[in-house]
Chains A and B, each alone.
Chain A
């Protein structure tokens, strides 16, 4: 074995069994339940829960995560103490001290022992110094769970029915870039082919592959960053190719436009182009997902193109100067409290501007949705984020 972890403790029997069972040498009770895992990996999807229940779960799970990170992460504990926030049991979710995503560019923040870190993942680094974020096994499994548990927002597919074309490198070649790593994990869920559309020959091959998989499978998912999807559509247009996917395909974008921001087109126009080139039944089959290296949960769009936020994540749009939440529906700096992450305190304020809405979505589901609009541009606001990072680093 090259790198298997050592086992400090045998598992199980975390909870006392009932008396009769405890006395029986023939019975062993194994209780590995945790509230967060019971929700993420529940049989019934989280988005079917009523809004009030989602709020209750969110509150309880984030407080539990807060207690755990305060216990295990000394630097966050110091930061929390200096922030003047109320005791963990009494603090409002909106007042939990946030870590600027800039902190991850220069500090190794973690709540687990070094040997528990599976890998340090980094951002793609399109804007200077990349962030570095640790993840342990539980965090990674929950990230995958956040994907698996939200795929139902797209459709209810059996793994045998679906093939995926990942417009990016395969599992062997992703190394530690988080976006590519997450995309490559789709192969653990569905039969997948990974192709980097780096030139015309590659794009031709991808078109052929898409046609072949459409013939062989009930459903094809093409997943990639929007600029690669647009490259593919434009290439199809040049070649005079219009696929006839009908209801048999979903095109999933992720990762944003990054350094290709100059090519970005409005979302509706993008969906129309993609739907036309793939011959989709409707633009509802073109969806986007959101994640960033500092966030452990992947957020999926519903058919109304709203990104639903599962109840183990609390999202808020905040005033960039005061960091206080702005009224619902108003633009602000996005912050996340993500209880699914055990490796580091995933209580982050980002440099994205967005809008948060709660209540019933046009798709009919209740819950919280977030619309990520653009990167923060104001110098003052960036200064605010930077200052937070410095406070943390000095701590």
Chain B
């Protein structure tokens, strides 16, 4: 008889992951994954991972595995109007939808899981959302961003080769194509970005001036979409000892492309979260000169098992 390989046994992976569905009043739903360390030791802290635009939750499998291996409970979610299992289509995504999704998940974590304070790790476009959220909510204890967008309009111009935000609404193309495959409706996105101040670098800077949480920002030095200078400008490092930039040599915007660089980044990021989780006022006076070395590292076997298990969960 044929063998259903999926049904027979479970892959050994670095973490165990459960899925929850957050049902919203308007009938839509946000899918949330909760990954926990497999050890019996007490959890060191809780972090929320926000995927970059168009990325799915399983693209953060390795990050979740590193954090879990070092004692953290990790939540991930797929925003509304995004590419994963939550309600809506990617074509309709706006920054405010992204903000609403993150807020809903943070509220759910407080309400349903008793998580009053946590770290947020946000990638690429979701980092721009996280900067605003961290400036307005007091349950975000610290923020870590990776190739985080700070100047939305400039980044979009680099991505699409055209400054669509300069166009009057009637002259916008109906859709633009992201990464040669994904059609995004422009009018809703552009209107939202204009009206709610997502576009300019100045609003990011102003929001970060109000934010008091420690921030560690990873940037890639060969990133064509997010410039090092823009992130430096937004973070205002000279006046914020509680912030740090970690600059990854040799990487473009896709930090997972080169596994040597991804491994170095994940080690540093996990060490950063370990340091930030200790919390306290002392962090506001300045981050430690270096972050602690991680205690455990998932093996290749664990990481591939994790990726395959999460891919299966997504396809299911």
Contact = CB atoms under 8 A, between A and B. Distances in A.
Interface residues of A, number: 57
A127 interface: no
Given A12-B267, A27-B247, A43 B299 contact: no
A171 interface: yes
Interface string B244-275: 11111110100001111101110110010000
Given A10-B290, A11-B264, A21 B243 contact: no
B6 interface: yes
Contacts of B304: 171, 185, 188
Contacts of B114: none
Contacts of A198: 3
A172 B11 contact: yes
Interface of B: 1-3, 5-6, 8-12, 14, 37-39, 69, 181, 237-238, 240-241, 243-250, 252, 257-261, 263-265, 267-268, 271, 286-287, 289-302, 304-305, 307-308, 311-312, 315
Interface stretch (A201-209, A351-359, A366-374): A201-209
Given A27-B244, A30-B246, A171 B308 contact: yes
Given A11-B264, A145-B259, A202-B1, A3 B245 contact: no
A137 to B, nearest CB: 4
Interface in A168-188: 169-173, 185, 187-188
Contacts of A111: none
Nearest 9 CB-CB pairings of A with B: A170-B5, A32-B264, A4-B296, A33-B250, A202-B2, A26-B237, A10-B293, A31-B249, A11-B264
A138 interface: yes
B1 A199 contact: yes
Given A1-B14, A169-B5, A25 B305 contact: no
Interface of A: 1-7, 9-12, 15, 17, 21, 24-34, 37-38, 41, 43, 118-119, 137-138, 140-141, 145, 158, 160, 169-173, 185, 187-188, 191, 193-196, 198-199, 201-202, 205-206
B247 A188 contact: no
Contacts, number: 169
Given A43-B252, A196-B2, 14 more contacts: A1-B14, A4-B299, A10-B293, A11-B264, A25-B289, A26-B238, A30-B261, A31-B249, A33-B258, A34-B260, A41-B258, A173-B5, A185-B304, A201-B2
A33 B260 CA distance: 7
A158 B54 CA distance: 13
Contacts of B298: 4
